[in-house]
Amino acid sequence: MEKIGVYVCHCGTNIAGTVDVQEVAEWAAARLKHRGVVVGREYKFMCSSLGQELIEKDIKELGLTRVVVAACSPHLHENTFRTACKRAGLNPYLCELVSIREQVSWVHTDKDMATAKAMAVVSGGVERVLHHEALEPLKVSIHPDTLVVGGGIAGIQAALEIADAGYKVYLVEREPSIGGHMAQFDKTFPTLDCAACILTPKMVQAGTHPNIELLTWSEVEKVDGYVGNFSVTIRKKSRYVKTDLCTGCGICWEKCPKKVVDDVFEAGMGTRKAIYTPFAQAVPRYPVIDRANCTYYIKGTCKACEKFCPTSAIDFNQEDEIITVNVGNIVLATGYETFDAHRMAQYGYGRLPNVLTSIEFERMCNASGPTNGEILLRDGKSKPKAVGIVHCVGSRDKNYNEYCSVICCMQGLKFAHLVHERTGAEVYNFYIDMRTPFKGYEEFYQRVLEEGTHFIRGKVAEINDAPRTPEEQGKLIAQVEDTLVGVQMRIPLDMVILSVALEPRHDAKETAKRFGLSCSADGWFIEKHPKLDPVATMTEGILIAGCVQGPKDIPASVAQGAAAAARALGKIHAKEIALEPVRASVIEEKCSGCRICNGLCPFNAISFHEERMVTEINAALCQGCGTCVAACPAGAITGTGFSNEQIFAQIEGLLLLNVGEEPVPA
C-alpha cells in the first residue's frame, strides 16, 4: 500500500481566510486513511523552506511514497514541491499539487462550502496521485545558433545581444530592410531624439556583425523540431539582384523610370521606384525589384537598371531560394500593424483628404519623408492653422479592439509638440484618458500642456466637412463632447491625425500556428506568464519580444528583445535542457489508423506510418498538450501524467466516492 502525505497550505490568509485548512488536513488524515494517507498537515506557507522541509522530513521518516500538496496553482509551485520531493529521495513526479487557492478560496466566500470543496479537491488529488508513475525528465542538447524573426527594434536588440555574446544569429525580415516601424518615425518620445539617429547605428551593427546572418526579403515557411533542435525552412525571395555583386551604389533606382506609390514604408505618402530600397539608410543596402510594377516584367522591355548597373548585379531570372537552418532557440519579434482607419467611417479617413493616420503623419514629420519634414496639408503648400489629434482610434472601443494601444497618448503628445514647433498651429488632443506612466512621460505631458495644447476629454463622434457657420467654412469639423465641462463642441480644424490602434499582424494566427504558439482572442501572442515570464511561451525554446506580445513602446520592446536574448543565451550556455516528461504516446495495438489526430498537433509531433497504418508521436516534439489524447476516438493515445485512469480516478475522488466512514469517536 502506498503511503501518502497530504499538506494543506494556508498561503497566509489567501487560503486560510476562506478555507478551514486545519479541518481539511485532519479530514484527509482520517477519512482518506484507507486510501493510503498516513499524514495530513497544514502550514502557513508550504512553499517556504520550512514548509518544504516538513515534506522532506516526512518522506524520510514516515517513508512516504506519494505526496499531495493542496496550495496554489501548479503553474506557480509545482516545481517547488517536486524539487522538495526530489531532495528527499522521492521521484518528483510522484507529487501532485492541487489548487485550493485559485480554484477554491479565491472564488468562494462561504467558508463551510469552500472547506467542503477543498476536501473534495484533496480527495481528487489523492486518488490521482495513486496512479502517478515515477518519471525521468527528458534531456536534449541545445543547438547554439538562434533564429530571430522580425527585424524591428525588438528583433535587432535580441539579435545583437546574442551575437555580442559570441553566438550565431539568423535575423529574418520580410521587408527588404531591417528597421521595422521605428525606421518610419521622426522623433521618439519622451526625449525627442530622432529615431534614425538612435536606430541606424544599431541597424548597421546588425548588418555588419560577424555573428549575424541577415536574411531580409525572406520569410519562414516551416518550423520542425523542438527546443534545442529546431530545423527552420526559410524562403529567400528573389531580389533579382545578385547581392554578391551589388555595391548598393543606387544608380539602378536613380535610373529606373517607374515610380510606384510606397504603401509600406511611406504609408502611401510618398513614392519609390520599381527597383528600390525602402529608405536611404536601409540595411542591407541591396535593392529589390518589385516584380508586379517593373516595366520589364510587365512589357518585356526597359532593363534600365541592368544597363546602368556598374557591377552587372541585376539578374532578371533569379529564383526564390529555399534554405534550412538549424537553431536551438527562436525569438519571434514580428511586431504589429496599424488599424485600418477606413473602418471608422465617421472620421472620414479616405474621404476627407486632410484626415491622416498617425503613421502617415510620422512620415510627413520625418526629415527624409515625402515633405522633407514639413507639416503641410494635402495641397502640398499650405500649413495647417488648427490640428486635431484623435486618440484611441480603433482602441478601447468595443466595436474594434477593447485593449489600450499603449503608445497613442504619448504619440499624441509628441505630435502636438511637433505641430507646435513646426507650424505654430493650435493643437487639440481629443483623449478619453491620458495615460503617461513610465520614466519621463508625465514630465513630457506637463511640457506639452505648458506649450498650450488644448486637451479635450471626449471621444470624437464625427469628423465632417459640412460647415454651419462662416468660421467653419472650408474646415474639417470635429464634433465632440468635452466630458469635463459637459458641453457639445464643434471644433473647426485644418488637419486631423487619427492615432490608429496597434493591431496584430494580419497573418499573426498563421505565424502562431507555424511556430506552435497560441494567440489571445485579440491575436497577440500569449506569453508563458503575464507577469513572471513575459518573453517565454508555452512552447519551450520559442520566445517572443516586442509588440507581437501586445502593444508597447520602444523602451519596452528593447527590454523584451534583450530579455528574450538572455533567455536564449541561458539555454545555449546550459548546453542541454531537461524537458517535462509529460508526453503523449500511441498504444499501437489499439490504433486503427483512422487519422483523426493527424491534423491536430500544434507542435507537428504526429506522423502517420503508411505501411503499418498507425499513427506515431515524436516524443521530443510532443509538448504534452493532450489535444490528441482527447481526440482519439479509440482511446489509443495516452498522456503521461494525464492518463484516462488518472483523470477518472481524480473525478471519482472529487465526487468523494472513495471516502471512508466517519471514524467512531474514542
Partner 1 sequence: MTVNGNKPKFAMYWAASCGGCEIAVLNIHEKILDVDANFDVVFWPVAMDAKYKDVEAMEDGSILLTLFNGGIRNDENEHIAKLLRRKSKILVAFGSCANEGCIPGLANLSDSREIVSTAFNTISTDNPKQIYPMISYDVPEGEIHIPKILPVLKTLDQVVDVDYYMPGCPPESHQIAAVIDLVVQVLQGKAELPPKGTVIGAGNSTVCDECKRARNIKMVKSFKRIWGVEVDPELCLLEQGIPCNGIATRSGCNARCPTAGAQCIGCYGPAEGVIDYGARLISAFASVIDSNDPEEIDRILDGIVDPTGQFYRFNLAGSLLKAGKPAWEKA
In the complex, the residues that contact partner 1 under the rule CB under 8 A are 509, 589-600, 613, 627, 630-636, 644, 648
Residue 491 phi, psi dihedral angles, 5° rounding: -110, 115
Query: Which is nearer to partner 1, 193 or 588 (by Cβ)?
Result: 588
Q: How far is the CB of 633 from partner 1 (least distance, A)?
A: 3
267 and 359 in contact (C-beta within 8 Å)?
A: yes
Query: Which is nearer to partner 1, 316 or 608 (by Cβ)?
Result: 608
Query: Which is nearer to partner 1, 207 or 641 (by Cβ)?
Result: 641
Query: Which is nearer to partner 1, 353 or 593 (by Cβ)?
Result: 593
Strands 426-431 vs 95-99: parallel, antiparallel or unpaired: unpaired
SS3 615: strand
287 and 254 in contact (C-beta within 8 Å)?
A: no
Unique residue bearing C-alpha cell 520569410: 219
Query: Which is nearer to partner 1, 60 or 590 (by Cβ)?
Result: 590
Query: Which is nearer to partner 1, 432 or 631 (by Cβ)?
Result: 631
DSSP lists the bridge partners of residue 37 as 4
- Alpha-carbon span 620 to 605, nearest angstrom: 8
Residue 121 phi, psi dihedral angles, 5° rounding: -65, -40
Q: How far is the CB of 519 from partner 1 (least distance, A)?
A: 11
- Alpha-carbon span 380 to 383, nearest angstrom: 9
CA 362, 367, 368, 371 torsion-angle sign: positive
181 and 141 in contact (C-beta within 8 Å)?
A: no
Q: How far is the CB of 189 from partner 1 (least distance, A)?
A: 37
Q: Residue 439 has which C-alpha cell?
A: 520614466
Distances (CA, A) of 625 to 201, 355, 544, 630: 43, 48, 20, 10
Q: How far is the CB of 587 from partner 1 (least distance, A)?
A: 9
Q: How far is the CB of 627 from partner 1 (least distance, A)?
A: 8
Query: Which is nearer to partner 1, 2 or 652 (by Cβ)?
Result: 652
Q: How far is the CB of 614 from partner 1 (least distance, A)?
A: 9
Q: How far is the CB of 124 from partner 1 (least distance, A)?
A: 17
**DSSP strand E in 87-217: where?**
95-99, 138-141, 146-149, 169-172, 187-188, 193-194, 212-215
Q: How far is the CB of 596 from partner 1 (least distance, A)?
A: 5
- Alpha-carbon span 442 to 436, nearest angstrom: 5
Query: Which is nearer to partner 1, 133 or 645 (by Cβ)?
Result: 645
255 and 305 in contact (C-beta within 8 Å)?
A: yes
Amino acid at 201: P
Alpha helices by DSSP H, listed for 234-377, are 251-255, 295-299, 304-308, 358-365
Q: How far is the CB of 603 from partner 1 (least distance, A)?
A: 15
Query: Which is nearer to partner 1, 141 or 644 (by Cβ)?
Result: 644
Q: How far is the CB of 601 from partner 1 (least distance, A)?
A: 11
The residues, ordered by sequence, that sit 6+ positions from 175 with a Cβ below 8 Å of its Cβ are 151, 216, 217, 264, 265, 278
DSSP class of residue 328 equals S
Considering only CA atoms, which of 325, 338, 495 is closest in space to residue 407?
338
